[in-house]
Structure 1
Amino acid sequence: MSTLISHAKEQRLIDLASELSAKFALTAAEIDRNAELPKDNLRELFERGLDTAVLPEEKGGAGISYRTFGRIVFEIARGCPSTACVWLMNTAAAESLITLSSPERSEHYLREWKQGKRFANALSEPSSGNLFLNPVQEATPLGDGDWSLDGAKRFVSGAELADYFLINASIDGQPAFFGVERDDTVDIHDIWDALGMRGTRSQLIGFRGTRLQAANRFVEAASPRQNLIALGLPWLSLGIAQAAYDALIAQAKGKKLADGKPLSLVQWIQYETADVHVRLKAAKLLAERLLELADEGSRETIIVSMEAKILANQIAKDAADLGLRVGGGLAFTRALSFERHLRDAQAGGLMAYSSELCRLYVAKYELGVQEQG
């Protein structure tokens, strides 16, 4: 994102995301019910130029700022969180492969992305949990400079659509990252029956002697860079929170009490709405500060991304919970959107780094706690 476009052009992209989000909202419930990938939504995002907008103009992108990138995630998530999640992961995996690969491989990935090929992150091991940057599955040397991998990765969003995977493995006890093209050694295990954000179809994938080519191994970044997933995850949860909040406001204004007055006159609803409103606004402000720091190239984004994620994950749950209570018994059914918002809101807190791990890192940072060797 070295070349930033004008504010007016960036706003047009945000407005486009908002426009598409309203359209995606019309099918979000159906996608959730069927646990199906939002293929049409993802195709439209690509065709409208949002996929590669994160790239600098010299690479054929729009050169958008991180601030605009976060807002785009937010707008899409308001309409369909599953679409936003898969889009974020596709964008982050592709950008990483383009940025951190050798010049030859970088050009290859760039061409493929511009042609609509799909990318996915396959980093989380069944046994490593949140510590996805420290794989324990050891790659086996093949004797020709390459390695092979036998193992599995879980929660690979959009796995069934992916043409390329960003994966990691341990080599001589150290983390190594590779781009892997999908072939017949990569198995998709259809085990997806999730609580929320079901349209991501974040499957478990298995590797059976998958070749990790030395030519596809990551190189050192030419310059400091930001992690798009860390920047985007708070905004994914904030989009869910905003959708839940908008729905509860509409419900409180539209539903009538026995005396014909609107539900919005009930005092406990007023009090709790104010609380959710203020905390949602605060979470947005912190997430906006995160993006400002990212645009400045600050290393502080590492800890602030965790702080922002903690607040965003919690307010998404609380906004959905309040909506459920405002909606009453009907809100426990699919007649209203609150049960879906409540389920979707759980996912953000589990995504690495989880809310619990983020709290641990933030606490150690604040208290100056050093890891014991």
Structure 2
Amino acid sequence: MLDKPVAAQRRGEAAEEPAVHLIRSDDEALAIAAALATDFAQDAGKRDRERILPWEELKRLSASGLLGITVPKAHGGAGASYVTLGRVVALIAAADPSIAQIPQSHFSAVDKLRVLAEEDLRSFILGEFLQGRLFGNATAEPGGKTSKEHKTRFTRLGDHFRIDGTKVYATGALFARWVSLTGTDEDGNDWNAYVPRETPGLEVVDDWDGFGQRITASGTVKLDGVLVDARFVYPRSARDERIHTASAVAQFIHVAIDLGIAKAALDDTIRFVSTLAHPARGSGIARAADDPIAVRDIGEVTVQYHAAEALQDRAGRLIDEAIVSGSEADAAKSLVAVAEAKILTTAVALTASSKLFELAGTQATHARHNLDRHWRNARTHTLHDGIRWKYHAVGNFYLNGQLADPWTMGHPYRPAPAE
């Protein structure tokens, strides 16, 4: 059994951390997420406007037990379905999508561990999840290099690895107890490491200045001679040998974030049109909510939202089925299903957050309402996992039996695995 790293022991974590609730069921997870979302929504606009980082909110998220809901029952968790996880993330994202995005790589790590890691490491990390310890992401390279072109270097030094390099878009790293790092050794082999946040040589720079998702602190991580015990390092090259669900899970969480942004924008549109908006000039309508064109547009966006919601649930269900079956063919179906869902959640997030101003009118642009945060969040987050190749990937799968690269849903293609 792996022991806690010395760097973590020195912090005296057990004495500092609040008790973490152990969630036992999917229904309990959804109820807790809904309650937290209600609270998180209260000051979401202020946090965005003043860039107040959500330290306290993340403490509550950690203590709630939600960070461990997908830990399998065999490891002491609730083993919640990915359908449930999608709904949980969407609930939190509707309240504050930055808070929902911060643990994106944390939630996706469960399936990555299942697929790639040895049982000893898997059990230890899943135990950390159940203790509410957040895992952050530091995987993206400057310039957007692919995994085989990493600039970050892993060097084996006996029973340790030395890590040197720079990472960008490191969502969650600033708030994390552990940081997930990726890199390549001198022979071109890909590695993944879990490193305690306070390890010497690991510096997180809060330099994220995107106009949306403003409080994710998705900044830069600098790695200068970071030493990590080899027990917390595992190879990543195995991911290229078979089709599995780890990529589908990672992208699925982004689907749920977009769906939550759409819900928040649609809800604010309905609220504003019902209570504050003026009827269109020259329409002869006394109330904006009675404008037949506005009514029709609200109906259209609502249908788009419900369609996206249904595709998200379908994608989650296919991920769950693929994990149970272990079939590459099922995993491929889940990847394509996530791509389908992402197409619709991207569209409805952008449509709802833009239609808000068209229907609510000039009043909606006042800074005191900060309603532009919905569009800024939608436009920023949907860039993460762009959809321009996803239609092509879906069509090529169903028409030609070709599966796109599972980590990007773009080139290259390979024959889809047989049933």
Distance 1:246 1:337, change over 3 A: farther
**Counterpart check, 1:264 vs 2:289:** yes
- TM alignment of 1:89-108, pairs within 5 A: 89-93=105-109, 96-97=112-113, 100-108=116-124
Following the alignment from structure 1 to structure 2, what is the Cα–Cα distance between the partners of residues 292 and 50? 19
Write out per-residue CA displacement over residues 176-223 of structure 1, whole angstroms, 9 at most, x where no aligned residue: 2222223121122231222111111111111112235543222669x9
CA distance in 1, matches of 2:129, 2:317: 27
Deviations 1:154-194 (CA, angstroms, capped at 9, x unpaired): 11112212221212112323432222223121122231222
Distance 2:152 2:209 in 1: 29
Q: Among residues 167, 185, 205, which one is paired with 2:201 in the alignment?
A: 185
Structure 1 residue 52 displacement after superposition: 0.9
In 2, the alpha carbon distance for the partners of 1:15 and 1:117 equals: 21
Aligned to 1:5: none
Pick the aligned partner of 1:354 from 379, 382, 386: 386
- Contact residue 36 and residue 198 of structure 1 kept, 8 A: no
Partners of 1:52 and 1:61 within 8 A in 2:
yes
Q: Aligned letter for 2:298?
A: T
1:304 aligns with 2:337: yes
Partner of 1:333: 366
1:157 to 168, 171, 174: 171
1 CA distance for matches of 2:396 and 2:291?
42
Q: Which residue does the alignment assign to 1:284?
A: 309
Q: Which residue of 2 aligns with 1:246?
A: 267
State the match for 1:51 in structure 2.
67
Q: Which runs of 5+ in 2 are unaligned?
A: 1-23, 323-329, 403-410, 415-419
After TM superposition, give the deviation of residue 275 of structure 1 in Å.
2.0
Paired residues for 1:88-237 under 5 Å? 88-93=104-109, 96-97=112-113, 100-128=116-144, 131=146, 133-137=147-151, 139-142=153-156, 144=158, 146-171=160-185, 172-182=187-197, 183-211=199-227, 213-218=229-234, 225-227=245-247, 228-237=249-258
Contact 2:178 2:195 in 1 (8 A): yes
Between the aligned partners of 2:60 and 2:391, the Cα distance in structure 1 is 37
TM-score (norm 2): 0.78
Q: Secondary structure at the match of 1:200?
A: coil
Contact persistence 2:62–2:134 (CA under 8 A): no
- Normalised to the residue count of structure 1, the TM-score between the two structures is 0.87
Give the aligned partner of residue 344 of structure 1: 377
Deviations 1:271-321 (A, max 9, x none): 322221121111111111101111211211112212211211121011010
Per-residue CA shift, 1:48-73, capped at 9, x if unaligned? 22111111223221111111111101
Report the Cα distance in structure 2 between the residues aligned to 1:249 and 1:42, rounded to whole angstroms.
29
SS of 1:205's equivalent in the other structure is strand
- Cα deviation, residue 246, structure 1: 0.9
- Provide the alpha-carbon RMSD of the alignment: 2.9
Distance change >3 Å, CA 243–CA 215, structure 1 → 2: same
- Per the alignment, residue 317 of structure 1 pairs with 350
Provide closer, same or farther for how the CA distance between residues 115 and 20 of structure 1 changes in structure 2, counting only shifts above 3 A: same
For this pair of structures, how many residues does the alignment match? 363
Q: Distance in 2 between matches of 1:120 and 1:335?
A: 32
Aligned partner of 2:351: which letter? D
How much identity, in percent, do the aligned residues show? Answer: 26
Separation in 2 of the partners of 1:9 and 1:215? Answer: 32
TM-fit CA distance, 1:20: 1.3
Q: Please identify, of 192-201 and 93-102, the stretch whose mean Cα deviation from structure 2 is larger.
A: 93-102
Q: Find the aligned partners of 1:104 and 1:42 in 2 and give their Cα distance.
A: 28
Q: Which amino acid aligns with 1:19?
A: A
CA distance in 2, matches of 1:113, 1:35: 27
Displacement of 1:355 in angstroms is 2.4
